[in-house]
Amino acid sequence: MAERAQQTSQPLVSIGIPTYQRARTIRRAVDSALAQSYANIEVVICDDGSNDATEMLCRDLSAQDTRVRYLRSSTNLGLAANHNRLFTETRGQYVMMLCDDDWLEPTYVERCLRELQAHPDHVLVCGTARYIQEGKQVRSGVAFQLAQPDPAERIRAYLRAVDENGLLYGLMPRTALLAAAPMRNVLGNDWLLVMAILSQGKARTLQDTAILRELDGTSADFAKLTATLGLPRWQARVPHLVLASQVLIDIGWRTPLYRNLALSARARLAMTAAWSTIRWRSLAWHMTMPAFAAIGGRARGGLIWRAYSGLARRLGGGG
pLDDT tens digit string along 206-242? Answer: 999 999 998 865 555 788 889 999 999 999 888 889 9
pLDDT band with cut points at 50, 70 and 90 for residue 8? low
Reported as a single tens digit per residue, the pLDDT across 58-92 is 999 999 999 999 999 999 999 999 999 999 999 99
Q: What angle do CA 73, 47, 67 make, to 5 degrees?
A: 115
Chain segment 173-213, per-residue pLDDT in tens: 999 999 999 999 999 999 999 999 999 999 999 999 999 99
Phi, psi values for residue 77, rounded to 5°: -85, -20
Q: What is the pTM of this model?
A: 0.88
pLDDT at 315 over 90: no
How far apart are the C-alpha atoms of 56 and 58, rounded to whole Å?
6
Question: Which range, of 31-40, 116-125, 162-171, averages the lowest pLDDT?
Answer: 162-171
Q: Cα separation of 231 and 254, whole Å?
A: 19
Strands 68-72 and 41-47, sheet pairing: parallel
- Alpha-carbon distance 194 to 124, whole Å? 9
Predicted local confidence at residue 13, as pLDDT? 98
Q: Collapsing DSSP states into helix, strand and coil, what is residue 48? A: coil
Average pLDDT of the chain, as a whole number? 90
- Of 34, 41, 72, which is closest to residue 54 (Cα–Cα)? 72
Sequence ranges of the domains in the chain: 1-101, 221-315
Of residues 242 and 8, the one with the higher pLDDT is 242
CATH number 3.90.550.10 is the correct assignment for the domain at 1-101: yes
By the 8 A CB rule, do 317 and 283 touch?
no
